[in-house]
Structure 1
Amino acid sequence: MGLGATMLSGMPLVGKALPLDAPWYTVDAAIKKQLADVALNAARSKGATYTDVRIGRYLNQFIITREDKVENVVNTESYGMGIRVIANGSWGFAATDKLDNDSIAHTAALAVAIAKENSRLLSEPVQLAPQKGYGEVSWKTPIEKNAFEVPIKEKVDLLLNVNAAAMKGGADYMNSYLFLVNEQKYFASSDGSYIDQDIHRIWPTFTITKIDKATGKFETRNALSAPVGMGYEYLLPRPEDKIHGISTLYKKRYDMVEDAAQGAKQVAEKMAAKSVEPGKYDLILDPSHLWLTIHESVGHPTELDRVLGYEANFAGTSFLTLDKWESRNFQFGSKHVNIKADKTQPGSLGAVGYDDEGVGTQEWDLIKDGVLVNYQAIRDQAHIINLPASQGCCYAQSWSDVQFQRMANVSLQPGKQTLSPQDMIKNVEKGIYIIGDGSFSIDQQRYNFQFAGQLFYEIKQGKIVGALKDVAYQANTREFWNSCSAVADKNDYRLGGSFFDGKGQPMQASAVSHGSSTARFDKVNVINTARKIG
């Protein structure tokens, strides 16, 4: 899955450190076009039949605090060019951070030489789906307030206020984090595309810890935020963004201070909560929890490279083999399960105008009325499943990494009938309402799994009767999604996601969102994670 919030303070930073007061800027697209043309011409002269060039400037900002202290503030920048070619029917790739004409031409020649050497091992040549060039175009994340231009002091003050709210509420320890990403990406290809993109992402998060002084036992509560493809406006909440229920949740914007204050109370509730009795329960799963189950049990197994076995050595394979898709009647889930892949969704982490192969992004069905209907595929995979074109889901984590198939935003579609989470709860005799993501385990084919969460509430005869702890549910993917008996309507739809979804060798991380409304799953096996087996 990638790195959790608790590990991020030790996360290696990519690129060189920048001064904390370094101004934010973008490089002129005309300059990048000149550099790209040097690479395109050099590769063609050496025998490349196809070339694409990615010029990337990647900015990151990390602010990490603990209680009343600032632990770290870091700005980083990585800037360079990656050149991918086809020569003699094979791929070749090379990259450089020296953006003068001679270095670019040398790197293009190296990419062609690598492709020609690779061709000696080919069993069949690369088959690229056709892609018409777009000419000179651009795309920007539709942000309202650039988080990189917000003074660091303002962001630090926010995090310290968040910590103070939690400590005032009774927390013993409090860590808060703010992570910002700006990908300035330029793509050019021998197909005739020159694409300039400015992509922004933000992730505010925290971990609250409370300790029982008598026993030494402790409980934690992580933030109920989602990482998003937005600007600093995400941290400027509006009244209409709050969802009031058993826990205050948030739609398009997020109140970090309020979540911390509420989290301090809830972590105390977890200390005193009843330990769950194992058994079969109807589960009401909030989007802040369900996104991770979607990611692991739907997003990954519908990646075509996993289906084909390309990821077997590292990330595993998929139980959704081609014969299941070819049958056109494989019942992945119940009739309530409609799941789309979408690289265009505003506010999502994966939202871009064009992928890293210069393909315009789109949305498409993966699961329709419970039936598997498609996968996620890129240009050199499209022919395998009889697609006329790529679905636009190719990505590289930096200019120095080769692009490959990565997960689009994969989301459960809202129910069509008017239905709220409160309506669902009223019809549950014996159930558990789960909020927030937690630990998980899933096998190499993405079939048998176990998921926990942040907050658990017992439901009896249509009412929430109290908090629970030590909860995790177990199922296999097909059994679980076929147990889906209801999905709330679009008014409850929210995004969750991951900044650091790992895949590939060498491993690359990508950011991806998963949306849903609250959903009900019937008669799911729940275990007690604190009890020993046997």
Structure 2
Amino acid sequence: MKRRDFLHLTGMGIGAGILSQIPVLGKAIPLETPWHTVDVAKKKVMADIALDAARSKGATYTDVRIGRYLNQFVITREDKVQNVVNTESFGIGIRVLANGCWGFASTDDLTPDSIARTAALAVAIAKENSRLITTPVELAPQKGVGEVSWKAPIQRNAFDVPIKEKADLLLSVNDAALKGGANYIGSYLFLVNEQKYFASSDGSYIDQDIHRIWPTFDITKIDSATGKFERRAALSAPRGMGYEYLMPNEAEKIHGVTTLYRNRYDMLEDARQGAAQLAQKMKAKSVEPGKYDLVLDPSHLWLTIHESVGHPTELDRVLGYEANFAGTSFLTLDKWESKNFNFGSPIVNIKADKKQPGSLGAVGYDDEGVPTQEWDIIRDGKLVNYQAIRDQAHVIGLDHSQGCCYSQSWSDVQFQRMPNVSLQPGRQRLSPQDIIKNVERGIFIAGDGSFSIDQQRYNFQFGGQLFYEIKNGEIVGMLKDVAYQSNTQEFWNSCKAIADERDYRLGGSFFDGKGQPEQVSAVSHGSTTSRFNGVNVINTARKI
């Protein structure tokens, strides 16, 4: 984000805490701006100008990404709408191979002369970079797919929903929480529409229309006598869906400690329950440190999967490309080459998937024009694969990319990003209640909270939103000040029960950061309720 745009948007009233999570907003545009897509024929003309110009300057491979990125933010606090902001970013990014090396350039001036100059600049950068390399880039082959399109299978475009309808929903959520005893609440609705066009010298012309939605809130309750407070964030998961995500379907209701749905979200009910749970948190007893069996709800487990499985199996991290910023990985190539590295217990099966409907990572093609796919990362507890793109595939003996290359905008170069990475449901018929019945001394955890993990994604600590004590197979009351500590291999080997597919749900991150300069991407992680035996729990309120 440019500084002037940052100042403009903050001046319009977006809270600093929310803004800190939002990258590359683009430029603020009038609320009445139409959300139409750009004509595909016009984008093809621009792409061909770039392809021809790059080839004439000596590029041996070129890909072109034309992107229009739209965002909408509706932000409320108690009984007021604080802000509604629409933003737009529109431009072209051109990546080339010349003399065996990458070059990249971008522009938001979409005139023919500007596009040709940008392509020439990308080739010049590649040729200059090539003086420093010792090994030329090796691209996995990718056959061109011709002229194709992919659209997110949404039922109701959230951008077409009147602002008033969205604001009324958020204000009713706030009212429900305040009537339930909360003192403060902020509620938010974030919408994203990526209109992306990809063309390459391989012969692909791909038009995609991608939608994402994230409804969320943060509730606070204060004890006026002591001044102490408790907070509870929404248990929502951002999703690759339209406004239908906010229309709960009773047939999909999940019965448990909190009312959740498999593929929909009842924001009002979550706010009501959140306010009631804050009153319980006020009176909850502080946890006694020690070893517990943990029963982890998917609304919590997604983050542990993200940090301890998703990131350490990124091949660029394994190879050390992320070492300067976000660390490396303990899952080094020798562990994969052994074909017998014991990542987790035999019931642990984890897949990468860029196709799952409704997930944040679901697209038809990645940002290298590769059709998306799914593959095993952990099979029966063993490490069997990583996440690789076209210029990494040869490192692990693949003859193809796995289709997980992504850039956050037209102005940033694409690189390896995490696909959806999910723990597969258990193979035996098992409900969350069945899992709890077999726990003598344990804690049920729902919702994600603070976390810490080392630079190799090995030693970690995770908190949460809600904690319930389990005794002799029953939930007996709420706890607080809970966090658990483990290392990745020890934790996943302690996994002893996984609920079946009836409980499968997605969590995820709208803004997963990686790279230098940093980029963000949206990614989902699915799981069912799972049990981990003998995990070390600490009391976060006690001084060491």
Identify whether the pair has TM-score above 0.5, normalized to the shorter chain. yes
For these two proteins, the number of residue pairs brought into alignment is 530
- What does residue range 463-474 of structure 1 map to in structure 2 within 5 Å? 463-474=474-485
Letter of the 1:266 partner, please give it: Q
Instruction: State, as a whole percentage, how many aligned pairs show the same letter.
Output: 81
2:11 is aligned to none
Summarize deviations over 1:344-392 as a string: whole Å, max 9, x none: 0000000000000000000000000000000000000000000010000
- What does residue range 419-498 of structure 1 map to in structure 2 within 5 Å? 419-498=430-509
Please state if 1:29 is matched with 2:40.
Answer: yes
Instruction: State how far apart, in whole Å, the 1-side matches of 2:16 and 2:193 are.
Output: 19
SS across alignment from 1:165: helix
CA distance 1:114–1:13, shift in 2 (3 Å)? closer
Summarize deviations over 1:283-322 as a string: whole Å, max 9, x none: 0000000000000000000000000000000010000000
Structure 1: gaps of 5 or more residues: none
How far 1:7 sits from its partner (Å)? 3.3
Summarize deviations over 1:197-218 as a string: whole Å, max 9, x none: 0000000000000011122111
Please state if 1:212 is matched with 2:212.
Answer: no
Letter of the 2:175 partner, please give it: A
Please state if 1:143 is matched with 2:134.
Answer: no
Structure 2: gaps of 5 or more residues: 1-14
How far 1:71 sits from its partner (Å)? 1.0
Instruction: State how far apart, in whole Å, the 2-side matches of 1:190 and 1:355 are.
Output: 16
Letter of the 1:364 partner, please give it: W
Does structure 2 conserve the Cα–Cα contact (< 8 Å) formed by 1:9 and 1:64? no
2:10 is aligned to none
Does structure 2 conserve the Cα–Cα contact (< 8 Å) formed by 1:84 and 1:111? yes
- What does residue range 137-216 of structure 1 map to in structure 2 within 5 Å? 137-216=148-227
Instruction: State how far apart, in whole Å, the 1-side matches of 2:427 and 2:394 are.
Output: 34
Does structure 2 conserve the Cα–Cα contact (< 8 Å) formed by 1:224 and 1:288? yes
How far 1:12 sits from its partner (Å)? 5.7
Alpha carbon RMSD of aligned pairs, Å?
1.1
Letter of the 1:34 partner, please give it: V
Does structure 2 conserve the Cα–Cα contact (< 8 Å) formed by 1:241 and 1:254? no
How far 1:11 sits from its partner (Å)? 4.1
SS across alignment from 2:313: coil
Does structure 2 conserve the Cα–Cα contact (< 8 Å) formed by 1:291 and 1:496? yes
Please state if 1:58 is matched with 2:69.
Answer: yes
How far 1:481 sits from its partner (Å)? 0.1
Correspondent of 2:136 among 125, 131, 138: 125
Correspondent of 1:366 among 372, 377, 390: 377
Instruction: State how far apart, in whole Å, the 2-side matches of 1:106 and 1:345 are.
Output: 39
- What does residue range 248-327 of structure 1 map to in structure 2 within 5 Å? 248-327=259-338
Instruction: State how far apart, in whole Å, the 2-side matches of 1:143 and 1:350 are.
Output: 14
Letter of the 2:36 partner, please give it: Y
Q: TM-score, normalised by structure 2?
A: 0.96
SS across alignment from 1:301: helix
Letter of the 2:296 partner, please give it: L
1:347 is aligned to 358
CA distance 1:348–1:200, shift in 2 (3 Å)? same
Instruction: State how far apart, in whole Å, the 2-side matches of 1:459 and 1:391 are.
Output: 42
How far 1:9 sits from its partner (Å)? 7.0
How far 1:61 sits from its partner (Å)? 0.2
Does structure 1 conserve the Cα–Cα contact (< 8 Å) formed by 2:295 and 2:530? yes
Please state if 1:329 is matched with 2:327.
Answer: no
SS across alignment from 2:411: coil
Does structure 1 conserve the Cα–Cα contact (< 8 Å) formed by 2:260 and 2:266? no
Instruction: State how far apart, in whole Å, the 2-side matches of 1:246 and 1:339 are.
Output: 26
CA distance 1:53–1:10, shift in 2 (3 Å)? closer
